[in-house]
Amino acid sequence: MEKLKRALHIDFHTMPGIHDFMREIDPADFAETLSDAHITLVNLFAQCNIGFSYYKTDIGIPYPGMKGDMLPDMICECHKRGIKVVAYINVGLNHEYARKNYGNCRINSEGKVIFGDTSGNFFRAPCYNSEYGEYLLSVIREIFEKCQPDGIFCDCMFNMACYCNSCTEKMISEGIDIKNGSAVYEFQHKTMKDICRKIKDIVPAGKLCYFNGMEWTDVENSHLEVECLPSGGWGYDYFIPRSAYARMLSDNVIYMTGRFQASWGDFGGYKGLHSLENDIQDAMLQGTQFSVGDHMHPAEGLVDDIYRDIGKIYRKYEKYERWTDGCKYISEIGIVINRGNFTNSHKGVSRMLSELKYGFDIIDETMDFSKYRLLLIPDDTVPNDALRKKLKDANKNGIKLIFCGRSGVGKDGFWADFIKDVVEFKGYDDTDNGYYKLKETSEDTADMPYSMYTGGILMTAKDKKDELASRVKPYFKKHWDGLQGYFYTPPECEDGYSAVILRPDFAYISFDPFVSYFSEAAYFHKKLVAKLISALMPTRLIECDLPSTSRATLTGCDNYRLLHIKATYPEPRGKVNIVEEPGVLPARHIVSVEGEFRSVKHLPGENEVMSKIKDGRTEITLPQISGYDMFCLYK
């Protein structure tokens, strides 16, 4: 499939009662604005989460007072300008349908159709197992017939238990225990996968189709969109790990950020040019495409100045496409997960490795492990059988491994002989106030026991020289004894267990440094992991003296490598992190890239950059970088 580029996502959830609906909206002007901003793909409203259709429907409920045939007119004008249009439909929410068909709504465990915050969106939903299922499919069929879009974007594919009559009868007939919450949830999960399959059957061959909210590994998407408003609820640690997994599943990954300051629907919130550009730069560093989310005003249409800024950014990054087309992200470390099983520790490990400038993918048991030099298995990835086999094979083939906490433990202690041979499993430690003490300290660490912040396992090195850090127990576990709450729990003494083991072929950390890096950002955890990685993997793709706030990644193809350097980083302000202006890296930082490259060019101007080849690496002296820069390293 051709690469999707420079996308836009337009929300158009329109409440009833906009008396001057479409007052200033003209399909040709709309398409011209997109074209001027160099947008090539747009997700456009066929049906919103209120349940209104924006085309002349025979099945759905058209928005009252719609002029012309809104979506088909816009598609026609976009197509004239070479812009692809994907029809947006909210599959999970349809309030107009739901309020008129209460018998076809999801019913929660308390027997309620309406629950939660009724001034939000997710307080009522139609049920796929009711007549709504067929209704939805007929609407999607009609959208393709009447509007001729280039694909469909199915939104709000969220799972929730349903105790409506259709679901309950179906569950009972299938022998499902309706008192078992997780069985009921699983039944709905299966229902959702079924409805996705039925939708997919309607989508004409070659058209785009994305199910937003479904696990990527559960359904057949034509491409992947990582939805994330980083300054809103998602945070700046969401996109990187998701994209590191997405690019392993699809060649067409889009980072869908948004122009809003707070969240979707924030009409008056615009986070500004530099904040938007920061997200586009994050996409560039991960080798993905990008999309900006907007919400069109129902009477006035698009805000010109926002499209002025999107245009500025898209024109700027379009200039790099000559080099980026056909390039893939280059990694050296694989972060291993059970298929589709994402957790918070992936945010912590991704942040840590990004700060350390390592190239990494997130991979599961269905993927090729052979290209990695090192595999990292976080504590909450207790490998399934297929993954264990792959990890054992990786060890045999000389790939280095780092285990954390439970990731090496099966039913009867450690699941791999190569671990059992050198480490004894002694049980679990579920308290989070343990400590570890490094055998050797350096100038940037202190000679003191460091807090683990998580529980983990109890283990001992059979040979003490494999022990990189010992475990130090606190005087007390945190507890209430009826007289005192034991909050102050200083380290007492080593308790004979090992906290960290380092062997030539693997390392084992008894706790979870990654989930706690996400919650505590402990600098000393990062130093520890960096020490283990450099011991196991002495040569690396990028070596540099850049600050931890900057980022450096490599993408590439057969003939050249692209070095991406990012200087901008979000700053915490109040409760959120924001970007207001580009960060600046002074000139003369040195970045050494593995491989011998005869020429290094600063893109897109192609000015030669000072570089020298030394011991199989290329040392590049960077110019001053404002925000972001890309360099091409020619072989």
The least distance separating Zn ion from the CB of residue 35, rounded to whole angstroms, comes to 44
Q: 380 near 515, Cβ under 8 Å?
A: yes
Segment near Zn ion (CB under 5 A), from 158-166, 267-275, 567-575, 613-621?
158-166
Q: Mapping DSSP to helix (H, G, I), strand (E, B) and coil, where does residue 430 land?
A: coil
Min dist CB 187 to Zn ion, Å, is: 9
Terminal Cα distance for the chain, rounded:
28
Give least dist CB 364 to Zn ion, A: 31
105: contact with Zn ion by CB under 5 A: no
CA 512 to chain centre: 20
Least Cβ distance, residue 124 to Zn ion (angstroms) = 13
The least distance separating Zn ion from the CB of residue 165, rounded to whole angstroms, comes to 8
> Which of residues 18 and 113 has its CB atom nearest to Zn ion in the complex?
113
Q: CB atoms < 10 A from the CB of 385, how many?
A: 10
Instruction: Tokens for 448, please give them.
Output: 């003191």
Residue 34 vs 195, nearer CB to Zn ion: 195
Closer to Zn ion by CB, 57 or 129: give it: 129
Could you give phi then psi for residue 344, rounded to 5 degrees? -65, -25
Which tokens belong to 331? 């990694």
- Please report how close the Cβ of residue 190 comes to Zn ion at its closest, in angstroms: 13
Question: What's the token pair of residue 262?
Answer: 């707070």
Closest CA to 188 of 204, 176, 203, 200: 176
Task: Give which of 324, 375, 422, 306 is closest to 10, Cα–Cα.
Answer: 306
Q: Of 161 and 458, which CB lies nearer to Zn ion in the complex structure?
A: 161
Q: Between 195 and 356, whose beta carbon lies closer to Zn ion? A: 195
State which residue, 126 or 408, has the beta carbon closest to Zn ion. 126
Q: Nearer to Zn ion by C-beta: 12 or 132?
A: 132
**Are residues 381 and 336 in contact, defined by beta-carbon separation less than 8 angstroms?**
yes
Choose which of 37, 70, 152, 162 interacts with Zn ion (CB under 5 A).
162
Stretch that binds Zn ion, among 77-85, 88-96, 167-175, 298-306 (CB under 5 A): 167-175
Does 164 help bind Zn ion (rule: CB under 5 A)? yes
Place of tokens 């040979």: 463
Tell me the C-alpha distance between 414 and 427, whole Å. 10
Tokens linked to 412: 């009867």
Give least dist CB 135 to Zn ion, A. Answer: 14
- Binders of Zn ion among residues 397 to 436 (CB under 5 A) are none
Within 10 A of 346 (CB to CB), how many other CB atoms are there? 26
- In one-letter notation, the amino acid at residue 242 is R
Tokens for 415, please give them.
């699941």
Q: Which alpha helices (DSSP H) does 180-253 contain, by range?
A: 181-202, 239-249
In the region spanning residues 292 to 311, those forming contacts with Zn ion, defined by CB under 5 A, are none
Number of residues near Zn ion (by CB under 5 A): 5
- What type of residue sits at position 83? I
Q: How far apart are CA 254 and CA 250, in angstroms?
A: 10
Instruction: Name which of residues 117 to 156 contact Zn ion (CB under 5 A).
Output: 127, 129
Among the candidate windows 112-120, 160-168, 270-278, 517-525, which touches Zn ion by CB under 5 A? 160-168
Angle (deg, nearest 10), helices 345-355 and 513-520 = 80
Instruction: Choose between 118 and 165: whose C-beta lies nearer to Zn ion.
Output: 165
| Residue number, 162 or 552, with CB nearest to Zn ion | 162
Report in angstroms how near the CB of residue 211 gets to Zn ion at its nearest. 19
Asked if residue 167 binds Zn ion (CB under 5 A), the reply is yes
191 binds Zn ion per the rule CB under 5 A: no
Please, which residue, 98 or 127, has the CB nearer to Zn ion?
A: 127
Residue 283 interacting with Zn ion (CB under 5 A): no
Within 13 Å and on the Cβ side, how many CA atoms surround 572? 2
Interacting residues toward Zn ion by CB under 5 A: 127, 129, 162, 164, 167
